[in-house]
Amino acid sequence: LINTYGSKSPGYQKDKKPVAVFDWDDTCIFNDIGEATFRFQAYHLRFKLSFDEFSLKLSDQMNGYSEITYASQSVSLKDLKADLLADYAVLLPLINGGKFEQAKKTAEYRDFIVKLPFIYDGLYNSEGLGPKFAYPWVVRFLANHTKDEVKNLAKETLRQELTDNVEEITLTSPDMGKAGCVNHVRKKGIRIQRLMIDLMNTLRENGFDIFVVTASQEAIVQGVAEEYGYDVPNDHVFGIRLQIKDNRLTDEVIDTLEYPINYRSGKVTVIKNHLPRPPIFIAGDSNSDYTMLTAFPETALRLIVNRNLKGDMALLYAKALQDKEHYILINRDEDRGIFISW
């Protein structure tokens, strides 16, 4: 790829650098910084929402569905909403008073930190809903933060996650409210992927232009992609965007023909509308990346992280094993969060 398209190739033009596109979560890092930042925000009560603003983020149904299912539990959205509003009514005065440690001693806090993330995972995993609904829902809780505050929130989250063990844990809410006892299963432990850092740097050194196209909120990924050796400039990161008013994020998700939500075909549209050229190289891991991995005839090489997913990506695993000229399939140790060779 470098010999054919890089800075030492015969047809190379410095003002028309070949484009390399990377997904972020579970591609450039192990696990998901967007999801981790949401949990960190919930655990540390880092909200800037009035009671009415918070209530507007919750609904009795989504896309016609009144229940969500996650980890073998089906729970009413209406009941979850009622419980979370009751929790937030108790927690908000303590948040506004800076009494975070006092807040964390309450039953409402223990209820809140289970049931709020449960809604995200329930939306993500429930039939008829999925990431298309979960992604724009979760970013709205960043409303009233500045972009720099969101970037710093992501940096704090990553520092914590890097010290955590790579494991799956279950949190259980108190048996209270309308929904009662709810379990939330979550992954812990993000890991920096040195292989991806080396790949990005090698491509840069050989004249490629590096971009990140992600389904996480844009400022979250900007905050971490500019550090740890990835060194991706903020203007080369394209993620889910929120409208900005008076230098603060609002809860209005940008979803237009020109800049749609960065999910599946949305990623393709963002690449076509905002990157200088079609990508010569693309790296991704999930069904959300499938469309961009297959949409561009100009793409000469695709790197696929094998997470043993079902659906569209399973088709690409099979294709990668047969077409090694145009695909690289890499495996990883899910217990350690590192890439491995099999």
DSSP per position, 4-66: HHSTTSTT--GGGPPEEEE--TTTTEES-HHHHHHHHHHHTT-----HHHHHTT--S-BTTB-
Cβ-contact 64, 43 below 8 angstroms: no
Encode pLDDT of 168-207 as tens digits.
999 999 999 999 999 999 999 999 999 999 999 999 999 9
How many C-alpha atoms does 256 have within 13 Å on its Cβ side?
8
Determine the pLDDT at residue 342: 53
182 and 204 fall within a common domain: no
> Do 277 and 171 lie in a common domain?
no
Q: What is the pLDDT of residues 242-276, one digit of tens each?
A: 999 999 999 999 999 999 999 999 999 999 999 99
Q: What is the rounded CA–CA span in Å between residue 269 and residue 13?
A: 25
Count CA within 13 A, CB hemisphere, residue 164.
21
Domain holding 225, by residue range, is 2-28+193-340
For residue 37, what pLDDT is reported? Answer: 99
Report the predicted TM-score, pTM, of the whole model to 2 decimal places. 0.97
Strand, helix or coil for residue 342: coil
CA gap 301, 183 in Å, rounded: 42
> Is residue 23 located within the same domain as residue 67?
no
Structurally, how many domains does the chain consist of? 2
Tens of pLDDT along 120-156?
Answer: 999 999 999 999 999 999 999 999 999 999 999 999 9
Note whether 225 and 172 are same-domain residues.
no
Count how many residues are written for the chain.
342
pLDDT of 201 reads: 98
- Same domain as 220, residue 92: no
